[in-house]
Structure 1
């Protein structure tokens, strides 16, 4: 029996390590989000904005839009204009267009990024297609709005922002299911 005790301890330790690794895997996403938010990494914005702003008409900030497809994405994806000039505090809208040129339904998800990264905390999206997955039938085209506010507290030396979206094909992981029409 004394030979089994070390084996049981080893198995118990290994199972504990597996359980800790499993828990750590679930904790990675929230930890990553916290780190990105704290350090301004990857241009993550502060999320949906629910405050109100007074418009600063004395300042102009140029917001450039860079829609791109991931290597495996075949959709047409573009913004209606390459850039806009905004006054900090003003609600602004840009329309992005996506079209599925394939002969099968597809699911997609857009991942945003803001540059320069220190401006991410001052860029507030109130509506964005990046908050949800997009499902398009063959040949279907959709117009997707992005409403945003550039905060009045944006540092005065930042006069140009770039809002980039990368569109990913997630059909294999999230098969297309249309909700509504």
Structure 2
């Protein structure tokens, strides 16, 4: 049966398939763009922890924190920088505090610079792996454990680990506390 709507339906189906394919292509396209433009250094989170520590050199790791435009939390690292030996496990604590009178949920997004060195920075534990939900007035210390790879080019003597904190409360409303006494 030939319907006058058939060409429209076919075009819409082609559009749906194209959008589906484009959705899968976004991640590789993003990676290619970041590499080509040298932006948003993604960290190499997959890392073998059997590496030997290079005591012969140090790398300065600077820590930065910023809030997105709509985020009101206090958010900062406990120190501005660390001098680390490549191959050693290191830890830095970041502090977050919810100054509001309502529960809020946040997500931290990391970035490493220079972006060419990002593949040599390995987070083994990070608060950025999960969303953080804080009650009104609550303050927490959140660790990030990391290793700077021994294969970091010798000319790179300074890395910056920067986090941007986003308010995702509207997208992920906090879960109400439920009494655990059977009811």
- Same fold, TM-score > 0.5, yes or no: yes
Distance in structure 2 (CA, Å) of the matches to 1:121 and 1:129: 19
Superposition misfits of 4+ residues, deviation over 6 angstroms: none
5+ long unaligned stretches in structure 1: none
Q: Does the aligned pair in 2 maintain the 1:104–1:137 contact within 8 Å?
A: yes
Report the equivalent of 1:164.
162
Q: 1:36 offset after TM fit, Å?
A: 6.1
Whose helix fraction is larger, Structure 1's or Structure 2's? 1
Alignment partner for residue 90 of structure 1, among 88, 91, 99? 88
5+ long unaligned stretches in structure 2: 179-183
TM-score under structure 2 length normalisation: 0.88
Secondary structure at the counterpart of residue 42 of structure 1: coil
TM-aligned CA distance change 1:97 to 1:178, over 3 Å: farther
Report the equivalent of 1:81.
79
**Residues 12-161 of structure 1 correspond to what in structure 2 (within 5 A)?**
12-28=10-26, 30-32=27-29, 34-35=31-32, 41-161=39-159
Distance in structure 1 (CA, Å) of the matches to 2:120 and 2:90: 14
Q: Does the aligned pair in 2 maintain the 1:55–1:88 contact within 8 Å?
A: yes
Secondary structure at the counterpart of residue 40 of structure 2: helix
Question: Pairwise CA RMSD of aligned residues?
Answer: 2.2
Count of matched residue positions in the alignment of Structure 1 and Structure 2: 177
Q: 1:9 offset after TM fit, Å?
A: 2.8
